[in-house]
Chain A
Amino acid sequence: MSEIIRWTAAELGAKLSAGEVSSVEATQAHLDRIAAVDGDVHAFLHINEHALDAAADIDRRRAAGETLGELAGVPLAIKDVLVTTDQPSTSGSRILEGYRSPFDATVVARSRAAGLIGIGKTNMDEFAMGSSTEHSAYGPTHNPWDLDRIPGGSGGGSAAAVAAFEAPLALGSDTGGSIRQPAHVTGTVGIKPTYGGVSRYGAIALASSLDQVGPVSRTVLDAGLLHDVIGGHDPKDSTSLPDVWPSFAAAAREGATRQVLKGLKVGVIKELPDSGFQTGVASSFHAALAQMEAQGAEVVEISAPHFEYGVAAYYLILPAEASSNLAKFDSVRFGLRVTPDGGGTVEDVMSLTREVGFGPEVKRRIILGTYALSAGYYDAYYGSAQKVRTLIQRDFDAAFAQVDVIATPSAPTTAFKLGEKIDDPLQMYLNDLTTIPANLAGVPGISIPSGLAEEDGLPVGIQFLAPAREDARLYRVGAALEALLVDAWGGPLLDRAPVLGGTR
């Protein structure tokens, strides 16, 4: 195995810039790694056949003396929810098989402009509906820590690609935890930015008022570097914030000095007792908090009485918005068309296409959402759920009057077995218990590895939440804890992951 793939994006970027390695070599190393392990992991739905050309172009430009960004020449895996002009975009669905977008998502265009090398499109639950990537129409992704287990979802492909050293960086999207929960189960880092902090233009919409695109990586600094590239105002997305953002990479570098922990007030939520979490998840969480306290942080119990209504509100809002967003898949302008035997009307063709083209989870949510918006139910369903968002925002406001960040375990359990919960949607939905409030309120959240659960040796993540627009705080705090833990572990957590494809 080439050592190149073990480097962080920051390290690789520095070596590329110093001329110690070329982008073609780095890209090839990752393509080789994908060839060696992705048969087992299945993180990718598509490998970019233009990747080496793009890498060669960066090398040429660098040789010509052009000043390039810190990540120029670094490979990037792209969640298939993001549309790309040089690769197909399916959002994990049969209904979009082979779809070619005439435009790039803004985050893809910005990554391209910064010289990142799009290496492939990653697997996901169909239209980002799921927490295990088992709902992909193209088969599940496997957790690099244990191939029989789920990599989380919906962005299981992006997290697994990074955890399996198939790419140093990936793009994800997070509607209810789809960046943070996969980070948790794969021992990687994931950030859901403040709503509006990163453009949604070109992200195939699931629930427009909840969706947010963000970075997936192995270190907090790498996430910050990528966030700096993709973030900022985009006039193509009306919900994009016009704010001028600080450098998140700089925040991560500052955090790594650990000074930020001195006097930092960390809130823990009274209403999320340990009993709600797998033992090893709870103990890893408390151990991480103890490390922070040892550095001068103060842990404060706060109350967030409305968080428990989050899941219920989320599963009213999401299906409603999704049922409308997914109406465009009707076989007229793009995507699959299935015509009944002997023909039929447009209505027949649309209905059969959607029956055949959508998987069961997608159909379930569309039907539920259609029902929730139907005449006479709107106020009770969607309207009431939107009120819960107000209450959760108030909980956050009250909490952040007392503390700098809130900490929770990123998810209730470690990675479960593939197939274990697929027939129990309600159990599956509880995976997002701790991540959903951030989407409902629009605040940013980060998940970083806190260790391994003692009972199963699988990764556990700790989530930090900050007030809206305070994403930089998450990078400072996340990088500080990361530095502490990596020191304590004697190296990154992923060093302890089983070797993949070693003998193949």
Chain B
Amino acid sequence: MYIIVGASSGVGRAIAEVFAANGCDLVLVSREDRDTHAVALDLMLRFGISAKSVKLDLAASQPDFSEILEAVDSAGERFKGMLVPAGTVIETDTLEIETSAIDALFRVNCLSICSLVTELLKRTHKDSVISLVGFGSIASVRGRGSNMMYSAAKTAMRFYFESLRHACVDRKVVVQFYVLGYMDTNLAFAYNVPLPKGAPKDLAQRVYRDIRKDIGVSFFPRYWLIIAMIIKLIPWPIYKHLKF
């Protein structure tokens, strides 16, 4: 059984579909429970798996993880991991952003996920064989003027997952983090981007294939690794003029 947080649409839904197609039972988590319920029904009807939908608002100051944690307890050894492709952006994520929006962006893109992972690890045995998979963005490769808070939150998420990987060395926990380039989801739908958008289904298949591999941080599509390295090396006198 896997938990997928952010399963209502886009990357999360694609991951749910691939895992279901491979016979995995699922707990699908999102604040959009109508959508996760529809995803759950669809996957049960198509693949004969067991799928449950759980409503959770990551933006809440005290998100209620009880239903998720109960599902982990019930699954016992069948619980194999959690994937967290959840995330959100807002158009006004600039110097003019409202402070309430900063709070919500950090909660959804980082803090609530860190809390959930922490609670989950407390419930699982040291010898439990599980995978924890986080998802970030190439927006966090280097600080820039647009999507500032989103980028900062995703940078924190990535750092947390890297630290988690180190912290879990003595456990049978595989920790992975995917840095995503432009993806063909609603998050990037309305934006003209200079490079092709990655297909959620292709990402999902790679995630499933590598779910038990100790790959650490990985880029999708893979060429973003090179682009990220180049972006980091651009000297400030040039970088400050780039608008992206």
Q: Real complex partners, A and B?
A: no
